[in-house]
Structure formats: C-alpha cells, structure tokens
Structure 1
Amino acid sequence: MSSFASISPDKLSRMIGTPQAPILIDVRTDEDFAADPRLIPGAIRRPAVEAPQWSAAFAGRSVIVICQRGAKLSHGAAAWLRVAKASAENLDGGFEAWKAAGLPLVPVAKLPPRDGEGRTVWVTRARPKIDRIACPW
C-alpha cells in the first residue's frame, strides 16, 4: 500500500515529459546501480548519504526520489528534501517496481556526458524552422 508521500510507477510514467514533470533523483547504492546500470528517463543520480548537502538545490521544486525497492534510502532522501522545502515523494516499489511494470529504462552508456554543472550539449540546426503539414480543410 502506498504512503501519502509515494507515487505509483504508472502515475509517474504519465507525468514524464510533461510540463508538470517532477525532477527524478535516483539514490540507489553503487552496488545496486552496477547490477543494472539503467535509469528511469530523465533521472539524475545522487548519493543518498549526501542528501543533507544536495537537497537545498531542489528547494521549491517537485521531486521524486527513487531507490532500489522504494524503502529506506528514498524515504530518507525525500525527508531531507522536504526539510529543504522541496515537494518530495518516493517511487512506490522503487526501481524494481518500475522495471517489473515494463516501463522504459535508459542505459547510462547511451547518455551524453555531463559537465561539472550537470549539463549536456544539445546539437541543433543554426536556424531551426517549423515544418508544416498540409491540412485537409
């Protein structure tokens, strides 16, 4: 049964890619991550034990915390985020529940490297245009 501060994998999957999408923070241990080095689309990794240091950066934001099974690590990190004034929930059942539901996962090897501030490089045309499709009316 979900707690008041949890979100189901199904509900989270419908939010990803929308303007209301929360920030996803994966706090799985290095051992758990090494066993399955994939992320939920859009997730960033942060060490759970360092949550008191990094939680303030998410103040005022909506955050979902993900650990292996949705138990100890995600609840602790979410608590630190709430102390830092973030709206934080944990993923009910964690990474394992997401994977069991057959929802998309991204191999870390396929992601572009990030700089010191966590940014990636986007490549686009110099002068992007909108391509239009003919309407039948």
Structure 2
Amino acid sequence: MSHFDNETSVSPLDLIADGEAIVIVDVRKPAARTISGLRIPGSTWRHPFDAANWADAFTGRRVAVYCVHGHEVSRAVRGFLEDCGVKARLIEGGFEAWRDAGLPVEPVGMQDD
C-alpha cells in the first residue's frame, strides 16, 4: 500500500517514491505562482477559487495538490476535491518543501495549462 492511500497529505519524497500515476495540481494563487516563476514538472495549474468548475476533470484519478506552503489554500482545495469524490492529497509543505528537498522544478509555462 502506498503512502497515498490512507492519508490527507503526502511528503514530496513519498510522492516521488510512490511510483503510481498521480496527477499533480498546482493550486497556488495566481500572484504567488507568477512571483515564483517555477512549478513542479508535469503539474497542471488550476485556480484555487474556481475548483467547482474543474474538480470533475479529476474524477477517478489520484490527485496531489500544492500551494506555496501546504497550508490553507491546498487544504481547502483538497477537502473540496474529496467532497466531490476525487481521491486527493496535499503535498506537505507545498512547493517550498518540494524545492527545499532538492526535487526538480521548471519554469511556469512549460505546457502546464
């Protein structure tokens, strides 16, 4: 069983080690995303306050969401996705923990939207 199955969050290193297909969704607010200029490779950006209009696109998929620090924004989106029946986890510590772990990042705009 992966770390993904029974938790509401997953560490960046456990996410990488999981090995199963997981969609990574960047739910940082637009300004925070623009200021950073970076993203987790392969992630897709969705506006965090518009989840009602995009949640259905992830039905039947395993999703990991991240914001800047893994606090309010990603927790709210994760909860909303779970309420919609999407198996969702937040990345512990958000984008900053990912980057601090030395995991790869790439510029925003690399076929992400």
Give the TM-score range, shorter chain.
0.7 to 0.9
Q: Name the structure, 1 or 2, with higher relative contact order (CA <8 Å, separation 6+).
A: 2
Give the deviation of 1:54 after TM superposition.
0.8
Q: Which has the larger radius of gyration?
A: 1
**Aligned residues with identical type, % of pairs:** 35
TM-score (norm 1): 0.72
Residue 24 of structure 2 aligns to which amino acid in structure 1? L
Q: Provide structure 1 residue ranges, at least 5 long, that are not aligned to the other structure.
A: 119-137
Task: Check if 1:13 corresponds to 2:16.
Answer: yes
Alpha-carbon separation, structure 2, partners of 1:38 and 1:13: 18
Give the deviation of 1:69 after TM superposition.
0.3
Give the deviation of 1:88 after TM superposition.
0.3
Show the counterpart of 1:77. 77
TM-score (norm 2): 0.86
Contact 1:70–1:90 (CA<8 Å) still a contact in 2?
yes
Q: Provide structure 2 residue ranges, at least 5 long, that are not aligned to the other structure.
A: 1-6
Number of paired residues? 107
Show the counterpart of 1:57. 57
Show the counterpart of 2:66. 66
Per residue, is there more helix in 1 or in 2? 2
| Residue aligned with 1:12, SS | helix
CA RMSD of superposed structures (Å)? 1.5
Residue 13 of structure 2 aligns to which amino acid in structure 1? D
Structure 1, residues 94-117: CA drift from partner, whole Å, max 9, x if none? 0010011111001125x24x7xxx
